[in-house]
Structure 1
Amino acid sequence: MPDIVRPGYTPYDAKDPNSHFAPIEPLRPPADAPNILLVMIDDAGYGASSAFGGPCSTPTLERLAGNGLRYTKFHTTALCSPTRAALLSGRNHHSVNMGAITEIATSAPGMTSARPNTCAALPEILKLNGYATAQIGKCHEVPVWETSPMGPFDHWPTPGGGFEYFFGFIGGETDQYYPSLYENTTPVEPSGTPEQGYTLNEEMADKAIAYLRRRAALTPDRPFFMYYAPGATHAPHHVPPEWADRYRGVFDEGWDKLRERILARQIDLGTIPAGTDLTARSEGLPAWDEMDDALKPVLIRQAEVYAGFMEQTDFHIGRVVDEIEEQGLLDDTLIVLIWGDNGASAEGTLQGSLNEMITLNGMPELETPEMLIAAKDRLGLPGTANHYAASWAHALNTPFQWTKQVASHFGGTRNPMVIHWPARITQSGIRHQFGHVNDIAATVLEAAGLPEPTAVNGVQQRPFEGTSLVYTFDEPDVDERHDVQYFEMLGNRGVYHKGWTAVTKHRTPWETGDVELPAFDEDRWELYDTSSDWSQAHDLAAAHPDKLAELQRLWLIEAVKYNVIPIDDRAAIRGMPDAAGRPELAIGTSQRMYPGMSFAEATTVNTKNRSFAITAPITVPDAGADGVIIALGGHTGGWSLYVHEGRLTFCYNFLTLKYTVVRSADVLAAGDREVRIEFGYDGGGVGLGGTVTLFVDGAAVGAGHVERTVPAAFSASETCTVGADPGSPVSQEYPAGKNRFTGGIAWVQIDVGDLDPQHLARQRAQQIRVAMGTQ
């Protein structure tokens, strides 16, 4: 609202007895407005948590559910960025231009990934009404061309997103032991190392608690809105062994028996109705008995690690809840816990992975069962990037069909939600009304006694498209008000209307290669009456063709209304910024960086599938030099130019499968030196080899050949850094955290050659696979 000062008497002298001005009143929301803690974890299915009948122990979620409300028909969008954008805006994901993840944005309406200013985010609205606002954890809503430390920051959590404080990571995933972090808009290092027991889950809780204590000390009269979004339980599934070991024996019978056990517990808890049928195994997934007996111990350990990861996540969320309670604020705090931004992830292939970047680069055949068997005891530890087999994801979505990415079926879209607010919710229990992630903003505003704004910062606003759930607080069996909702993700689509769903699956999440997809009009639609068939187990399309046609028409109406059209299932085109119509951050064929600079891989000039050179003027001390001059990537893959035992060295890490080291014959002499590496790409395709030549002061000092290179991405979260290799190390010859260059570096310049257009198209298609697998 505009600041308007009414004119009145103005004295010449402030000592004038008639001099009077109203005291400054700090902006505050209504007196009874609650504090708000909004929690959303990552990649968790409806059947995972113990609070909803699953095998993963979640005592914090159980505790809050026991004194609050469990919502059993709550839905997300089936994918990360769209769910989060809908959550924070109160609109459908296409309405805020987040039709898919940010990395595959196009210039089409609904797909640009840039939230329009006509749809102000919930934290901005709350901040403008006097709330203290903070986000801790994952943010995957920033357009990719705005993700560098130079901004612009219009779509970052702060300042553009309405949060006054942010600590976390920008992107789809990060390493839990070596995370890539920002505090507000400044890159920061993690507070510890794996050797010291560090995990990101613990630091996130520490940061949240510190923020709550600052607020209590400085502005206790100002309620808080905290959005707490762990990177867990997204791959890589990283957790110390003591958490995973708690689940010894739990998964030994395999995923088929697990589904049966989960179903029985869900019925006992009432999180699904009695008589619900278990859906058939999704097409393409193997039965447990079909798996090689030699591989089963690895598969079991994958599930143990994931369950331990979820329990650890729940524990640290509990620490934040405990802090709120210790401050005496628990009764007056509205806590909303959404247990997953989509269903469990089936992006780990049919056998799982030790290094997900191998599969995401399109080379799953390189990760053999024998490799997985040999590495079983390393799962979840530093130096891995592990993911479980797709069938575990399907089991953890019990009782539904399909998984994350599949917006047509509840396995992709139905997630547990708990609301806890003792001061307002007097009748705890289970709520079966339909809900959607776009309902949360309206729910929070009604709870806070604040109106939905018609204008924010002078811009007229589009109305919210969700429905407040406050009406369900007092009446367990009240008729649902959110009675129509479309779904669409990557061509998978569906619509809900008053208990009926019409759905069609267009693509399969674990098929990551060059998949030939059918025309949209050739997709087979299914029909379910979910008022009686709660799990979508019985297709009624043949029995009720008129009802199916009615709902197909309704889907099209909703799709046109909310910018879903045109449906876009392209891969290679969406991987090429110029063809997709979006800006590109790393442009040109040359980039100069200076000591201390650390950029994300996506913001560094591309050295893949082409020749490149790295040049650096350095100073070698009289005692000799050691350490990293420049490194790109981490333990999952990358390259590094460094000095080892006095000699100039280049290491190419091919996805941990092969380390190629090229070294100068002689020790670097003291003084000012120019060091250079030239990589001559073999050409003729993507991911091929190349010749490495090292130079010192213009003279060749070493050479070697790299057999294969990484075609699309080295890692999901590592950086390109000058003067050190932070995070996990690219090379095995230097330790993590203790590899800073001991000499001087003036600058480092990367120059790259041209890409063949055909190779570029193939590389972009592979980058789409990486983006989808790491979101």
Structure 2
Amino acid sequence: MGSEGERYRIDTGRQILPIPPDVYSGTILYDAKDPDATYPPIRPLRPPAGAPNILIVLLDDVGFGASSAFGGPVETPAAERLAGGGLKYTRFHTTALCSPTRAALLTGRNHHRVGMGGITELATSSPGYTSVRPDTCSPLAEILTLNGYATAHVGKCHEVPIWQTSPVGPFDNWPAPGNGFEYFYGFVGGETDQWYPTLHEGTRRVEPWGTPEEGYHLTEDLADRAIAWVRQQKALTPDKPFFLYFAPGATHAPHHVPREWADRYRGLFDDGWDALRERIFERQKQLGVIPEDAELTRRHEAIPAWEDMDEALLPVLRRQMENYAGFLAHTDHQVGRVVDAVAELGALDDTLVYYIIGDNGASAEGTLQGTFNELINLNGMPEIETPEFLASQLDKLGGPESSPHYAVGWAHAMDTPYQWTKQIASHWGGTRNGTIVHWPHGFTARGELRHQFHHVIDIVPTVLMAAHIPAPTTVKGVRQDPFDGVDMSYTFDGADAPDRHVTQYFEMFGNRGIYHKGWCAVTKHRTPWQTVGAAGVAFDDDVWELYDCTSDWTQSDDLSKEHPDRLHELQRLFLIEAARNNVLPLDDRVFERVLPGISGKPRLVPGNRQVLLPGMGGLLEMHIVNWRNRSWSLTAQVDIPSDLTAGASGVILSLGGHAGGWAFYLKEGRVTFCYNLFGIDRTHIRGDQPVPPGARQLRVEFDYDGGGLGKGGDVTLLVDGAAVGSGRIERTEPLGFGYEYTDVGRDSQSTVTPDYPRGDNAFNGQIHWVRIDVGDDDHGHLVDPTDVVRVAMYRQ
């Protein structure tokens, strides 16, 4: 392997990117046939000699105590295999939330420094929260691409500002080309349906290759794409190293997995989450991922005990955890397929692999009892999901008809042995994620543990050191800010090497902490499943805790009373770091940050009218004018062919899908409107006669009852201004249908109604335009801020 100096020798000629071309300074001759009229051959750009391939795997919403590699109940053989040939890092940290972790990982800078102080949906005009990465912080993919690497991002991207997510862009912050990747296949946003995903290849919307019935599942598809890309790279340019960022949306809700994977865990969680925490804790000690003298933190009163849960709910709760366990095991299997493909190409030994098991702690956003369809609770209608209803849907949990999330108690267990969960940046339950590093040609250690303190911002400096590439001083003419992370390579063959990452702040929604040289001061300001600040507590009134992290591994013994001076020192240090990293002003607002008029972010769809034209598609709910909680109408100008023996058919426009939505379409020539309430109740209203051939104007009018949110209304169907049908919808969704696409002239994913088939449901006439008009009886002023927050937060 050579000495450390040889292994990590940096090519300092690459500090200006793009690398300036060599300029020929020899004699210019008249005739190319002259023997002296020779020029240096054109050489393709390549990284420095010895640069390894890079594979970064980032899972979603997996707690420290979930994976078997770190003592958890879910079998993750791919993780264990990589750990057996590499290193397990037991004190590796994230930011406690999705978008910020990903932005920090890909830039090597703290999340507020790159504008990602929260998820993109909660962006504001404050520098630390804009969701727009500064040009002074070029991401790893751009640096590697400009140094000759092949680069690809396969999976989830939640770093695109929401006002840039529509089909018209701009695409400056998309993975390719904006974030420097040459290839992107995946989805943009916080989550998507694993059975019916919203997919892009580059910036172009694409369709899944099949249906759930045909065997389609998103995580498997992502693994297939990653494998195909790696194979092509090595087949066509075997001398060119690759950087593959594989970031499946799993195991973020909805927890979708083939039933046979969930069935593998049947009965293993029957004794509940409290007993499960105890088992995980003992296994973690056996593996050495926590010390023998570590303390299991207590379960906070906000999290219910298993024995206090409604007995009628217990079968549902058990199945939620079985389903989640199958989802994580299935995801690890797909990671293993990608790793196997690299190995089959003979490239694994010279590939630096980071397997980060979670972008934050386990998600506690599934309510205290969990949910069959997360849209129900997100729309403020939890009373629908009674124990009887949940039990009646048990066999469908995890399948294409569900959109499930497990209960808070399971999330807490998945973060064993730590306090709290995702979103809680103050405590390790939100930020400590088991991480594995594998690189046989890079270090000699095998199957060992590393306990040095590290953070996702340390990955970029480590990768560049491994590739012999310097941190760039300028990229495309823009001077670059320094990285915040440290190179982790000192730990590769140095189990006892002293920590080099000695100071790290944490902040998310006012939950904040500071780690410094073995001590940490923290304060929890807000609880994930409570969507406002901690009962309106002012920041100055937050209660701070102090922990000696060298002797107290789990933050179980608060020493704030014993060491008040040290606590004050760390509080001051937090403020210094907060000021330096654009954390200030602290912002625990959530409702206000959703609203463009208050937050300062651009408004995507202004006004009360929107015209959609044929060929438009790939629109998300946020790209459509807001029609909720008010009267509205949809008018379509169409031509009905005269040669349709069965009458005109197909979708004019739909929003949502199987989990909730509405559709305006024709069936057997009759104009039809369907309202789907969470997949539980579908109301169909039809015209009384087929629409005659010719140029026609089709219209649906919804007359909202008013008096609050989610109320019902009367529906009238019209053809050329004449009423042809009417009906009533008793209840509506007040806040959102989810994440499926809207397309003019078809319902492209899961269908709002079984009244028409999936896939083959395009309108068989001609659409000239579709116009949505919303009335002035807006009841948006009655929206509970906590409800809006729920919708924004579930997209993490």
Smaller-chain TM-score bracket: over 0.9
**Which range moved further: 625-634 or 33-42?**
625-634
**Which range moved further: 365-374 or 760-769?**
760-769
User: Residues of 2 paired with 1:50 and 1:596: CA distance?
Assistant: 48
SS of the equivalent of 1:441 reads: helix
Over 3 Å counting, the alpha-carbon distance change for 1:526 and 1:553 in structure 2 is same
Look up the match of 1:773.
794
Look up the match of 1:400.
418
For residues 366-391 of structure 1, give each alpha carbon's deviation from its aligned partner in whole angstroms, at most 9, with x where no partner exists.
22222111111111000211000000
Look up the match of 1:666.
689
Look up the match of 1:507.
526
Letter in 2 for 1:729: T
The correspondence for 1:628, drawn from 633, 637, 651, is 651
The correspondence for 2:406, drawn from 388, 410, 417, is 388
The correspondence for 1:676, drawn from 699, 702, 719, is 699
The correspondence for 1:126, drawn from 131, 144, 148, is 144
For residues 242-275 of structure 1, give each alpha carbon's deviation from its aligned partner in whole angstroms, at most 9, with x where no partner exists.
0000001110110000000000100000111111
Look up the match of 1:263.
281
Look up the match of 2:230.
212
User: Residues of 1 paired with 2:430 and 2:783: CA distance?
Assistant: 29
Residue 162 in structure 1 maps to residue 180 in structure 2 = yes
User: Residues of 2 paired with 1:41 and 1:736: CA distance?
Assistant: 30
The correspondence for 1:494, drawn from 513, 522, 525, is 513
The correspondence for 1:726, drawn from 748, 770, 794, is 748
**CA shift at 1:677, angstroms?**
0.9
User: Residues of 2 paired with 1:516 and 1:337: CA distance?
Assistant: 38
Look up the match of 2:632.
612
Residue 410 in structure 1 maps to residue 428 in structure 2 = yes
* TM-score (norm: length of structure 1): 0.98
SS of the equivalent of 2:635 reads: strand
Q: Is the contact made by 1:574 and 1:768 (CA closer than 8 Å) also made in structure 2?
A: no
Look up the match of 2:15.
none
**Which range moved further: 260-269 or 505-514?**
505-514
SS of the equivalent of 2:127 reads: coil
User: Residues of 1 paired with 2:79 and 2:334: CA distance?
Assistant: 11
The correspondence for 1:600, drawn from 599, 612, 620, is 620
**CA shift at 1:691, angstroms?**
2.1
The correspondence for 1:420, drawn from 438, 443, 464, is 438
Look up the match of 1:737.
759
**CA shift at 1:514, angstroms?**
8.9
Structure-to-structure mapping, 1:59-98, within 5 angstroms? 59-98=77-116
Please list every run of 5 or more consecutive structure 2 residues that lacks an aligned counterpart in the other structure.
Answer: 1-18
Q: Is the contact made by 2:532 and 2:589 (CA closer than 8 Å) also made in structure 1?
A: no
The correspondence for 1:762, drawn from 783, 787, 793, is 783
User: Residues of 2 paired with 1:652 and 1:21: CA distance?
Assistant: 71
User: Residues of 2 paired with 1:365 and 1:342: CA distance?
Assistant: 30
Residue 246 in structure 1 maps to residue 264 in structure 2 = yes
For residues 554-588 of structure 1, give each alpha carbon's deviation from its aligned partner in whole angstroms, at most 9, with x where no partner exists.
11111111010111111221121021001022223
**CA shift at 1:763, angstroms?**
6.7
Look up the match of 1:643.
666
Letter in 1 for 2:720: D
Q: Is the contact made by 2:671 and 2:686 (CA closer than 8 Å) also made in structure 1?
A: yes
Computed over aligned residues only, the root mean square deviation of the Cα atoms, in angstroms, reads 1.4
SS of the equivalent of 1:38 reads: strand
User: Residues of 1 paired with 2:452 and 2:173: CA distance?
Assistant: 33
**Which range moved further: 86-95 or 422-431?**
422-431
Look up the match of 2:352.
334
**Which range moved further: 512-521 or 643-652?**
512-521
Look up the match of 1:525.
544
User: Residues of 2 paired with 1:516 and 1:277: CA distance?
Assistant: 30
User: Residues of 1 paired with 2:775 and 2:150: CA distance?
Assistant: 49
The correspondence for 1:753, drawn from 733, 753, 775, is 775
Residue 702 in structure 1 maps to residue 725 in structure 2 = yes
**CA shift at 1:443, angstroms?**
0.8
Q: Is the contact made by 1:104 and 1:768 (CA closer than 8 Å) also made in structure 2?
A: no
User: Residues of 2 paired with 1:426 and 1:148: CA distance?
Assistant: 48
Residue 138 in structure 1 maps to residue 156 in structure 2 = yes
Q: Is the contact made by 1:238 and 1:382 (CA closer than 8 Å) also made in structure 2?
A: yes
Residue 203 in structure 1 maps to residue 221 in structure 2 = yes
User: Residues of 2 paired with 1:753 and 1:26: CA distance?
Assistant: 60
Q: Is the contact made by 1:576 and 1:761 (CA closer than 8 Å) also made in structure 2?
A: no
Letter in 1 for 2:69: A
For residues 480-516 of structure 1, give each alpha carbon's deviation from its aligned partner in whole angstroms, at most 9, with x where no partner exists.
0001100000010011111111111111111237973
Q: Is the contact made by 2:373 and 2:403 (CA closer than 8 Å) also made in structure 1?
A: yes
Look up the match of 1:584.
603
Over 3 Å counting, the alpha-carbon distance change for 1:515 and 1:634 in structure 2 is farther
Structure-to-structure mapping, 1:443-522, within 5 angstroms? 443-512=462-531, 516-522=535-541
The correspondence for 2:36, drawn from 18, 26, 31, is 18
Please list every run of 5 or more consecutive structure 1 residues that lacks an aligned counterpart in the other structure.
Answer: none
SS of the equivalent of 2:703 reads: strand
Letter in 2 for 1:476: A
Look up the match of 2:69.
51
Q: Is the contact made by 1:572 and 1:761 (CA closer than 8 Å) also made in structure 2?
A: no
Letter in 1 for 2:292: A
For residues 671-706 of structure 1, give each alpha carbon's deviation from its aligned partner in whole angstroms, at most 9, with x where no partner exists.
332111112223333322222111111111112222
User: Residues of 2 paired with 1:596 and 1:317: CA distance?
Assistant: 36
Look up the match of 1:151.
169
Q: Is the contact made by 2:527 and 2:534 (CA closer than 8 Å) also made in structure 1?
A: no
Letter in 2 for 1:720: T
**Which range moved further: 181-190 or 666-675?**
666-675
Over 3 Å counting, the alpha-carbon distance change for 1:761 and 1:453 in structure 2 is farther
Letter in 2 for 1:767: V
Structure-to-structure mapping, 1:94-105, within 5 angstroms? 94-105=112-123
Q: Is the contact made by 1:638 and 1:730 (CA closer than 8 Å) also made in structure 2?
A: yes
**CA shift at 1:419, angstroms?**
0.3
**CA shift at 1:744, angstroms?**
2.3
How many residue pairs get aligned? The number is 773
**CA shift at 1:283, angstroms?**
2.8
**Which range moved further: 67-76 or 18-27?**
18-27
Look up the match of 1:436.
455
Letter in 1 for 2:479: Q
**CA shift at 1:10, angstroms?**
1.9
Residue 293 in structure 1 maps to residue 316 in structure 2 = no
**CA shift at 1:707, angstroms?**
2.1
Letter in 2 for 1:614: L
User: Residues of 2 paired with 1:179 and 1:12: CA distance?
Assistant: 61
Letter in 2 for 1:651: C
User: Residues of 2 paired with 1:288 and 1:735: CA distance?
Assistant: 43
**Which range moved further: 595-604 or 296-305?**
595-604
**CA shift at 1:755, angstroms?**
6.3
**CA shift at 1:732, angstroms?**
3.2
Q: Is the contact made by 1:573 and 1:765 (CA closer than 8 Å) also made in structure 2?
A: no
User: Residues of 2 paired with 1:209 and 1:506: CA distance?
Assistant: 43
Q: Is the contact made by 1:205 and 1:317 (CA closer than 8 Å) also made in structure 2?
A: yes
User: Residues of 2 paired with 1:649 and 1:54: CA distance?
Assistant: 51
User: Residues of 2 paired with 1:30 and 1:187: CA distance?
Assistant: 36
Q: Is the contact made by 1:81 and 1:140 (CA closer than 8 Å) also made in structure 2?
A: yes
**CA shift at 1:711, angstroms?**
1.7
Q: Is the contact made by 1:145 and 1:584 (CA closer than 8 Å) also made in structure 2?
A: yes
SS of the equivalent of 1:695 reads: strand
